[in-house]
A and B are shown apart, each in its own frame.
Chain A
Amino acid sequence: EIVLTQSPATLSLSPGERATLSCRASQSVSRYLAWYQQKPGQAPRLLIYDASNRATGIPARFSGSGSVTDFTLTISSLEPEDFAVYYCQQRGNWPLTFGQGTKVEIK
């Protein structure tokens, strides 16, 4: 099983700041990685798939990069609605796996 390790566990930032979230895979997943956002009481929302492709309707301030084992989600300038938990997910190998999440909180 591919283990996805997200860091940091919590990121404390102010609106307008840049957020950089990391996801590291225990073995290669090529570029088969996605990022999701989840707010309290809501279902997750797909942000990025295949490492760098924004999903439909996702603002340009969200961007993804990386390949093989190291991936990054960047939020260029945090909006108030971006404070949430972010998960990465790989589809490079069975079973599908998620990271444990990074919480982006207001500083």
Chain B
Amino acid sequence: EVQLLESGGGLEQPGGSLRLSCAASGFTFSSHAIGWVRQAPGKGLEWVSVISGSGSSTNHADSVKGRFTISRDNSKNTLYLQMNSLRAEDTAVYYCAKGVADRYYFDFWGQGTLVTVSS
């Protein structure tokens, strides 16, 4: 059974940093792209970042480019999102989502971790 378990969310001040983690199990981790999608309270879905199965290719939304970095450790079956220079508009539930093989659609999602940026 595929499982994705996010952690690392919480309350942070504007300008601060957080590191999200996503522990994956139930599938061959290194064979799948995986990414982060966020949802601000009461709003729609916004893609944040995605990384290829090998980790050699990454892409970030313009809204987070230069502030957020996605990475993965295939030996630990874990995905990360380093979030720096946080802004109030980064407040959202962050979902870890598994890619459909090498396609950038997301067929399994974690339950999400809430990031709140506020002073």
Contacts and interface: CB of A to CB of B under 8 A. Distances in A.
Contacts, number: 61
A56 B100 CA distance: 11
Interface in B20-69: 37, 44-47, 50, 59, 61-62
Interface stretch (B9-17, B83-91, B105-113): B105-113
A49 B100 contact: yes
Interface in B78-119: 95, 97, 100, 103-112
Contact of A46 (B44, B50, B61, B106): B106
B105 A49 contact: yes
Interface stretch (A18-26, A64-72, A86-94): A86-94
Contacts of A101: 44-45
Interface in A65-107: 87, 89, 91, 94-101
Interface residues of A, number: 23
Q: Most chain-A CB neighbours within 10 Å: which of B46, B97, B105, B109?
A: B105
Contacts of B47: 89, 95-98
A94 B105 CA distance: 13
A87 B112 CA distance: 18
19 contacts: A34-B105, A34-B106, A43-B95, A44-B109, A46-B100, A46-B106, A49-B100, A49-B103, A49-B107, A89-B47, A95-B59, A95-B61, A96-B47, A96-B59, A96-B61, A98-B44, A98-B46, A98-B47, A101-B45
Given A98-B37, A98-B45, 15 more contacts: A36-B106, A43-B111, A44-B95, A44-B97, A46-B105, A46-B106, A46-B107, A49-B103, A87-B45, A89-B45, A91-B104, A95-B47, A95-B62, A96-B47, A96-B50
Interface of B: 37, 44-47, 50, 59, 61-62, 95, 97, 100, 103-112
